[in-house]
Amino acid sequence: MTQLKTHYLFFTGKGGVGKTSLSCAHGIKLADEGKKVLIVSTDPASNLSDVLDSPVQETIEQVKGVPNLFAININPEVSAEEYRKRVTEPMKGVVSDAEIKKINEELSGACTTEIASFDEFSRFISGEREGGEFDVIVFDTAPTGHTLRLLELPAAWASFSEENPDGASCLGPTSALKSSQERYNKVVNTLRDGSLTTFYLVARADQSSLKEASRTSAELHELGLNQQQLFINGVFKATDSQDAFAQKMEAMAQDHLNQIPKNLKELPLQTFPLLPYNVLGAEKLRSLLDVKRQQEILSTSTDSIADWTSNLDGLDILVEEIIGEKNHGLIMTMGKGGVGKTLAASAIAVMIAQKGHEVHLTTTDPAAHVQDFINQLGELPPNLTIDRIDPKTETQRYTEKVLQQKGKNLDEAGRKLLLEDLKSPCTEEVAVFHAFSKAIHEAKRKFVVIDTAPTGHTLLLLDTAGSYHREIMRNTGMDISKIKTPYMNLQDASLSKVLLVSLPETTPMREAAALQEDLKRAGINPFAWVINQSLSMQSDISDALLKKRAHAELKVIKEIENKHANKTYGIPFLPEENVLPALLNIYQDSSTKKI
């Protein structure tokens, strides 16, 4: 059983791995042992209320059914909006509305949202909020290394950021932060103290999830946050020895567990099983850490699943829709890490090429998994070309350019702050946009499939800052009515089609929905959603656990279809190491429209 000895427990990991379930289960365990426990969530897609089956507000409330347990949900979007107001309110009447709009957009990125929410929850550690009233505080989601490094720099707290707002677009004037640097330093020192704080890295037994955990672990170690443990959630054990599909799934999960990245092997490890029921409410959460309770719940479960299949159209139908009567166009797959963007992009590119069209497949993904998938194929269609936009190279060029322009008059502390600000994810997106623009232009004569695209925030930032869109408009000698910038091409639904990729689970769905709203702010409406790893598209499974998991997907799929997507397509769960050829084989018989 997990040893929970420190005062602060941080659970971190990608969306959909089970951070919230595990953080709540451990919070309940400690409360049952008599400790007074507070669970704090800073997840923008938080489902804390659903998991605890108890209302969770933006003020501390007791969790029903667990006397010693309390919870609070810090809404990062609300925190970020308040932060932006604190930045811009003093500027009203001093600078133009256009300038305020530009500053607001600069402060709309993921970095600002995280800094604002971290500023809120760090006050539980510094003693400014009610943190001292609790024996243990459990945080559902931990801050990234970028946030910690940026706020650790003394220059970030000096007048530099107020005098040079262009130098710190992530942070803005630090007068907007509620915490002082002195208090913040206390928080960072607490996070580094292994007797006070533990970080739990939550992953699934799959390659991309474990890679992400490995990267996070290394980043935490660099910052001196060394008290780490690894939790692998949702480990599948087959319940039907006759179900070949289930047996392959179990073998594949075990294979991934045997190949855990080297730095993770050094951490204390605990695994948690994939359960055939939704882990919602106190009793089910207790069972997550208690095998005996799991057996009791299963023994009293009488519901047999009669229908677990969905009627999602496959990628073959999506490809027909994309092509129509055309011989060119831009297709972009977007979504959070680990949902299957690269698989979807690779499969769609190959399938369009197999129909005789000229196709170019490219990626802006730093991990560049496209080549991994393509290497699974024996041979490629001759009319398919593949390359990658190297984010590191593009970001390096962009960083050097900005340092040369904005950093030349700064002192050492100022340059250090500017350099750290340029390490933000937003910078990388802006940097690759220039290389990305070339691919957009190419889409006017062939099909171009791009694995990962710029977010709505990046596009709006480029537009309001005038660094691309307006610059072209201002400096051209051509008739403006005949010009289409890359940004305008992305807004053109007849040329560009954005595909949002999600898993058939609540958290990834909510994250994709938030991304969709971000794109809509920039005037881009996604063409369709692609739901990856769907068990409900496999009709021939007999394993009881898998059937229940497939049945649970139906509710999520229905919500996507009814609330979020114009069109919805699916990729079935395939227990194969070489998943791309396995997926393409499904569509070899063109008469088969669905799985």
Residues recognised as catalytic: 16, 18-21, 43, 507
User: From CA 48, how far away is CA 65, in angstroms rounded?
Assistant: 15
φ/ψ of residue 10, rounded to 5: -110, 130
- Non-local (6+) Cβ contacts of 89 within 8 A are none
Q: Pull the structure tokens for residue 306.
A: 């009669």
User: From CA 451, how far away is CA 369, in angstroms rounded?
Assistant: 9
**What does DSSP say about strands 8-12 and 384-386: parallel, antiparallel, or unpaired?**
unpaired
φ/ψ of residue 72, rounded to 5: -145, 145
Residues 289 and 282 sit within 8 Å (Cβ to Cβ): no
Residue at 488: amino acid letter: M
Based on its alpha-carbon atoms, the radius of gyration of the chain, rounded to whole angstroms, reads: 25
Residues 232 and 269 sit within 8 Å (Cβ to Cβ): yes
Q: Which residue has the tokens 């004569």?
A: 445
Secondary structure (3-state) at 235: strand
Checking phi first, is residue 356 left (phi over 0); if not, alpha (psi -120 to 50) or beta?
A: left
- Non-local (6+) Cβ contacts of 491 within 8 A are 522, 523, 524
User: From CA 355, how far away is CA 381, in angstroms rounded?
Assistant: 10
Q: Pull the structure tokens for residue 127.
A: 């003693």
Q: Which residue has the tokens 């507000």?
A: 57
Instruction: Report the run of H or E that residue 536 belongs to, with start and end.
Output: none
